[in-house]
Chains A and B, each alone.
Chain A
């Protein structure tokens, strides 16, 4: 069953506090979080979170199109390397 709208999106309170502190400090830092279940909110856009995957913190640069998703979706818990072949990476 979907979450009731009146409750608003779920976010662990410590994530909100850390994000706020990082934004106020204006430093370029990775905000380490363990809360994979927290929803990505609009005020997180532009920040970089280190989302724990059970072993290490995966850097996640939050962009607008990620709003409403959970942090855990961007921090997979299993690795598969595959082949490089003709795959490309774009520096943003």
Chain B
């Protein structure tokens, strides 16, 4: 699991993907996965999943279905077109630290969820927010059905990122 205090953590987080070339001057069409799409430039340099390529990013502007960006070392449309499908990642350590009770989805996903008695409830699959606060989508072992748990101090008293464990006290009727 990812410990936010661990400076040696080398987990890579995907923040965008190249969807193809844009124009004839070597710009690429970039799909940004960050909360604010324009923030992707703040995490530069971005590396490919295999770590072979690394780019500085200069956002030119928003376009249909993404951003038009200029990547360092990409000068022609052909070079840009060749990058189609490349996913761009950053190390987890480059994400800024967060205040108490705020967590990156990337840190929460995959954590083990146990109830206050220590019984395994499942693992965190996603962290949706439908407008009424964050939820933890928990995948119980041995089933494809998932359970949603409100991400509140009452329902989730403990989040231990270092141990990779969440302690939940689900309200009655939820499980």
Contact = CB atoms under 8 A, between A and B. Distances in A.
Contact of A92 (B126, B128, B153, B173): B153
Contact of A29 (B104, B130, B149, B172): B172
B101 A90 contact: yes
Contact of A89 (B15, B127, B145, B171): B127
A61 B15 contact: no
B153 A48 contact: no
B152 A84 contact: no
Contacts of B105: 84-85, 87-89
Contact of B102 (A30, A62, A88): A88
B10 to A, nearest CB: 17
Interface size grouping (class) on chain B: 35 or more
Contacts, number: 117
A59 B133 CA distance: 9
A29 B173 contact: yes
Nearest to B175: A30
B106 A85 contact: yes
Given A30-B174, A66-B132, A75-B130, A84 B106 contact: yes
B134 A90 contact: yes
A66 B130 CA distance: 12
Interface string B92-108: 00010010011111101
Given A30-B174, A83-B14, A56 B148 contact: yes
30 contacts: A28-B154, A28-B172, A30-B172, A31-B173, A58-B130, A58-B135, A59-B150, A61-B132, A63-B133, A66-B132, A74-B131, A74-B132, A79-B128, A82-B33, A83-B14, A83-B33, A84-B33, A84-B104, A85-B13, A85-B16, A85-B34, A86-B15, A87-B104, A88-B35, A88-B98, A88-B102, A88-B103, A89-B151, A91-B101, A91-B159
Interface of B: 13-16, 33-35, 39, 43, 95, 98, 101-106, 108-109, 126-135, 145, 148-154, 156, 159, 171-174
| Chain A to chain B: the 10 pairs with minimum beta-carbon distance, closest first | A83-B33, A84-B105, A29-B172, A85-B33, A89-B134, A74-B132, A60-B132, A91-B101, A84-B106, A30-B173
